[in-house]
Structure 1
C-alpha cells in the first residue's frame, strides 16, 4: 500500500534570489511577503538555504533571515535548508538556534548539510579547516545534539541558551552518505532532489531500509525537493520557466548572473533543456497549468511515497511566483482531499 496522499505536507525552500535590476533590500521584502502568503495558504515550513559569494542569492546570513521571517509570521515553521555545517562552529550553531527556538518556540527547524554552498576559495575564507570539518560532519552533528541536550549541563563547554530547547534537526543531502547518516541517527531526511537527482532513489531506499528509530523519530520521514512552476496557462508557465533555465545554463558555464526576466520559450532554450546534464539536474521539475502540475505531482508522490514536498519556485516576477505557490496550495488541498 502506498502512503495516503492526504498525509503529505507541503513546504517551500527560499534562496532569496536577487533579480536583475533589483536590490537586496527589495529581495528581503519579497521574501517576507512570500512567507506571509504561504503561511496563509497552509504551507507547513518556510526554509532558507545558505549560499555565499553569489550576486543572485541573498540567503547568506541564514539564521538572521530565519529570525526576520519568524518575527513577522505567526505559525509557519521556519528553518534552515540548510545550515552548511562545515562553514560553522557547532557551538555557535547551537547558540544561534537555541536562541531562535526560545524566541519562537515550536516553530524553528535546523536542517544541516555537508556541502559548502559556495566555491572552494570562498569556503576556505569562511573556515580554514573546512576539509576536516567536512570529514567530521557526523561528529559535529552529534556535538550540536549534545549542546541541545539537558545532559550537557555537566560539561565544561556549554551552549546554555540551547539546553533543553526543542529544535528538531534534519539531515540534508544529495548522496547515499547523507542517507546512511540520517538513518543511523534516526533523524528526518531532506533530499535535494530539486537539483541533485542522480542518487535520489538509491538514497531513499538506503534511508528507509537502514533507519534506526531514535528518541527523535520512530519511523523514516522523507522530505523531497521539487521544482514547481504553476500558472493559469501552460504558455505562461513555460515562459516563467525560461528564467531558471538561463540560471542553470549560467551555472554550468561558471557565470554568476542575476535572475533574468522571462522570455518566450525559444528553440535555443529548448535545445538547452535537451542537454543530458540539464535534463538530469531539472529531472524533478513540474511546469504547467494547474491540471498538468497536479497530474505530475500525483505521479511523483505515488512513485516515491515521500512524506513531504519541499517546493522550489525560482521565477523572476514576484507576482507570478506568488501565484504559482497559490496554485500549488490549491493542488495539494485537492490531492489531500481538503
Structure 2
C-alpha cells in the first residue's frame, strides 16, 4: 500500500439517485454537475452503475449516460460500474464502448459485472436467456476483448468501430468468483464493498495470490467502494445520513422509493446502523466530520491495501453531496 493518502487515486461511483420531488432530467443535470466539479477536485474517474426497474436510480441506459457525462467534461475518466454483461450482447457492448472510446480517447473505462442489476422478474424481461450468459461470463469477457483487437479485422463478425480502440476492461464483483476471473485473465479488479463487504478480504487475497500478468496489466490493481457522507460536523453528517439509512431499509425490505429528505438523527438511527443485518451491507459507510472520515479512510486503506478507493455518496441535497465529495477530495490530497 502507498505510504500516504495523497498517493492513492480516488474516484466516484454514481448511480444517478433520484431524490423525492426531483425529475430524472434534474437528476442527470446533477450527475453532470458532480462530474464537472469532481474533475476540478482531482477525482480520477467517475463511473455510472447499471440498474433497472428502480424509481430511485436513473442510471439504466449506462452507455448513453456515460456519453453525456464525457461530453460535458474534459479529462476525468468516465466509465461503467458496471455494464452487467449477461444483460447484453458482447458485440453490442464492444460497438457502444468502441464508439465512446473513439469520441473520447483515453477517457472511457469498461467495468463488467455478471449480476442483473435488478430483481429476477425484471432480469427475465431484459433477456430471457441471461442465465446462459451468466455461466459464459469469462468467455464473453474474452469475446469483447477480441472485438477490440486489431486482429479481429480478419473475422466474419466484427465490431469495426472498436478495433484498436483503447478502452480498458475492469472486472467487477461482490464475491470471490469474480476475483478468480480477474486474476486468471490479468485484469484490474473492483470490489463492491460499499454494499457487499462480507467477502472483500477473501476476494482480494484470491486475486493477489492467483494473479497472472497479461498484455493488459503487469501487476494486480484493485479498487474498492466505500460510502462517504462527510460534513463540517459529525452531527451534520449523521443527519444527512438518515436519507441513506431510509434508502437501504427500503432495499432490504423490497420497498424501494425515491431518496427521502434527511431527518433528525436519533438513537433509533444509531441502532439501525449498528444492527448486524445493516452492517452486512454498510460496514464501510464512513459518516462524520473531516477528521472522522480521514481516520476511517486511512484504516480502510491500511486494512485492504487497495490501489484506489471509489466513493459512493447517497445524499439528498445536491449541494451537501458536492460538499461531501469536496471534503473527501481534500482528505485524499492530504490537505486535511
Q: TM-score, structure 2 length as denominator?
A: 0.98
Aligned pairs for 1:89-104 (under 5 A) are 89-104=89-104
Give how far 1:268 is off: 2.5
Aligned pairs for 1:294-313 (under 5 A) are 294-313=294-313
Aligned pairs for 1:1-338 (under 5 A) are 2-5=1-4, 6-334=6-334
CA distance in 1, matches of 2:261, 2:11: 25
Q: Deviations over 1:17-44 (max 9, x none)?
A: 0001111000001100000000000000
Give how far 1:271 is off: 2.5
Note the residue ranges of structure 2 that are not aligned, 5 or more in a row.
none
Give how far 1:4 is off: 2.7
CA distance in 1, matches of 2:167, 2:332: 27
Q: Deviations over 1:178-217 (max 9, x none)?
A: 0000000000000000000110000000000100000010
CA distance in 1, matches of 2:89, 2:7: 36
Cα pair 1:249 1:272 within 8 Å, conserved: no
Cα pair 1:80 1:110 within 8 Å, conserved: yes
Question: Residue 53 of structure 2: SS of its match in structure 1?
Answer: coil
CA distance in 2, matches of 1:7, 1:332: 8
Give how far 1:270 is off: 2.2
CA distance in 1, matches of 2:64, 2:2: 36
CA distance in 2, matches of 1:123, 1:75: 34
Question: Residue 63 of structure 1: SS of its match in structure 2?
Answer: helix
CA distance in 2, matches of 1:320, 1:172: 29
Structure 1: which 4+ aligned runs deviate by more than 3 Å?
A: none
CA distance in 1, matches of 2:208, 2:274: 33
Cα pair 1:7 1:307 within 8 Å, conserved: no
Q: Deviations over 1:288-316 (max 9, x none)?
A: 10111111111111111110000000110
CA distance in 2, matches of 1:186, 1:20: 42
Give how far 1:256 is off: 1.6
CA distance in 2, matches of 1:306, 1:236: 29
Q: Deviations over 1:237-259 (max 9, x none)?
A: 00011100111111111102000
Q: Deviations over 1:120-150 (max 9, x none)?
A: 1111111111010111110110100000001
Cα pair 1:229 1:240 within 8 Å, conserved: yes
Give how far 1:273 is off: 1.7
Question: Residue 227 of structure 1: SS of its match in structure 2?
Answer: strand
CA distance in 1, matches of 2:215, 2:256: 43
CA distance in 2, matches of 1:266, 1:291: 22
Question: Residue 248 of structure 2: SS of its match in structure 1?
Answer: helix
Aligned length: 335
Q: TM-score, structure 1 length as denominator?
A: 0.98
